[in-house]
Amino acid sequence: MPGAPRGNAVFTVVVTVLVLLCAAPMTLVVSASGAPRVTVLAALLAAVPVGPLIACLLWLDRYEPEPRRLLVGGLLWGVFVATAIALLLEGVGGFVGGLSDKLMLEVGAPVAEEASKGLFLLLLLWWRRWELDGVLDGVVYAGMVGVGFAFTENILYLASAYDGSGGVGPGGVHALTGTFVVRCLVSPFAHPLFTAFTGVGVGIAVSSRRRATRIGAPIAGYVCAVLAHAVWNTSTVFGPGNFVTVYLILMAPVFLIVVAFAIWVRRSEGRMLAGSLADAARRGLLPATDIAWVVDLAARRRSRAYARDTGGVGAERAMRDYQQAVIELGFLHSRYLRGVPPPDFAARGHDYVARISALRPSIAFPGQVVPIR
């Protein structure tokens, strides 16, 4: 992208190097967790909730889809980097700090794991700040990291349950089934939920002009993530009855509240986009008549279907590109109106307006006719 900060390349290099460095040891750890067949079975079972969870995150991210490479980077960070850092920190805490297994589960693990997952969000905030437009982006990236982390952790738990080393009985199919039901079917959202608190804090920091908020919001989000994680882990120590109570009274309602909050934020983004694009239209940056076809998700789908029916795949691609450029301009202009524009605001804005101007003559919304050029 023209005018993108140099942090773009730095972020990519740092994340890529860390993923590659952590991939080998985590592969060895997973391979050592059980016999080859058990490990493969555990990986297949751990993958069951991954697809649905990612689909939900992408559904939330429909207004301004984040770059796929960054979403994949977040997922891989959770799979390899966050798990490797967490294992290292927990090992140091147990060996050097002398933490008992119980204290490690209740305190050490939440602190280490939420720090290792949240580090990806801090790197985004530091080097790719312009990719974060608010709270919803923070939740989506946090969710991807959490899904990746849970995938690797579930492999380890499932394999140890089958081998009988997971503390859930003699092992075998019965223990494996119980662990699968609890971790992959009943509570697959746990890690994405915990890290979402850090994501909310990062999203608030991006949207604020106050230095105290920009520093304090991510810290507060991390603290909330650790507390939620600690409550969840502590509930497993006192038997199934306490676990079920915490799940029904606390974790499930909190999960539903976070989901409702994310949906509300997405709807708020629609209203925000309508307002910022209306201001952009008054400044002559795009036709005001196009705003409804871009902001309303149902109208956006209809316009793409209309383009495909009247002009084929190429017309649909042009419509998608046009709508995406308008959405990007809307988010950028909103940050300008709120007084928190990114450093490359002028270059990005010029790029979006140029794309809009170049694509507009070749598209038509329902009821319109493409002019002959």
pLDDT in tens, 227-275: 999 999 988 776 666 778 888 888 889 889 998 998 998 889 889 999 9
Same domain, 106 and 166: yes
* Two structure tokens written together for 350: 């010029």
Rounded CA-CA distance 41/203 in Å is 37
| Domain end (from 237, 263, 280) | 237
| Domain end (from 193, 219, 237) | 237
111 Cβ partners below 8 Å, 6+ apart? 89, 226
Query: Would 297 be classed as within a structural domain?
Result: yes
Query: Would 250 be classed as within a structural domain?
Result: no
Query: Would 370 be classed as within a structural domain?
Result: no
Query: Would 260 be classed as within a structural domain?
Result: no
pLDDT, position 4: 47
Same domain, 24 and 132: yes
Residue 187 or residue 99, greater confidence: 187
- Mean pLDDT value across residues 29-52: 92
- Mean pLDDT value across residues 69-83: 95
* pLDDT for 63 beyond 60: yes
Same domain, 160 and 277: no
pLDDT, position 252: 87
pLDDT, tens digit, 9 for 90 and up, residues 338-354:
888 888 889 999 999 99
Same domain, 164 and 15: yes
pLDDT, tens digit, 9 for 90 and up, residues 14-23:
888 999 999 9
Rounded CA-CA distance 197/218 in Å is 9
Same domain, 213 and 287: no
User: What integer best gives the mean pLDDT of the chain?
Assistant: 89
pLDDT, position 230: 94
pLDDT, position 240: 63
- Mean pLDDT value across residues 272-284: 95
Query: Would 245 be classed as within a structural domain?
Result: no
pLDDT, position 100: 80
Same domain, 201 and 280: no
pLDDT, position 8: 63
pLDDT, position 9: 75
* Dihedral sign (CA 199, 200, 203, 205): negative
Same domain, 77 and 223: yes
Query: Would 262 be classed as within a structural domain?
Result: no
Alpha helices in 77-129, H assignment, sequence order:
83-95, 101-103, 109-127
Same domain, 295 and 343: yes
Confidence band for 2, pLDDT divided at 50, 70 and 90: very low
Confidence band for 3, pLDDT divided at 50, 70 and 90: very low
Domain hosting 160: range is: 7-237
* Dihedral sign (CA 75, 80, 86, 90): positive
Rounded CA-CA distance 155/166 in Å is 12
Same domain, 284 and 232: no
Same domain, 163 and 24: yes
Same domain, 76 and 201: yes
* Two structure tokens written together for 341: 């524009």
- Mean pLDDT value across residues 51-59: 93
Q: What does the CA dihedral 258, 185, 81, 57 come to, rounded to 10 degrees?
A: -40
- Mean pLDDT value across residues 278-287: 95
* pLDDT for 6 beyond 60: no
- pTM listed for this prediction: 0.88
Query: Would 70 be classed as within a structural domain?
Result: yes
Same domain, 69 and 171: yes
Burial class from Cβ neighbours inside 10 Å (0-12, 13-18, 19+) for residue 332 reads buried
pLDDT, position 372: 43
Q: In the 8-state DSSP scheme, what is residue 54?
A: H
Query: Would 350 be classed as within a structural domain?
Result: yes
Q: How many CB atoms lie within 10 A of CB 48?
A: 14
Rounded CA-CA distance 36/214 in Å is 47
Domains contained in the chain, number: 2
97 Cβ partners below 8 Å, 6+ apart? 108
Residue 167 or residue 147, greater confidence: 147
The percentage of residues in the chain with a pLDDT greater than 90, rounded to a whole number, is: 62
Residue type at 235? S
- Mean pLDDT value across residues 77-81: 96
Confidence band for 99, pLDDT divided at 50, 70 and 90: confident
* pLDDT for 33 beyond 80: yes
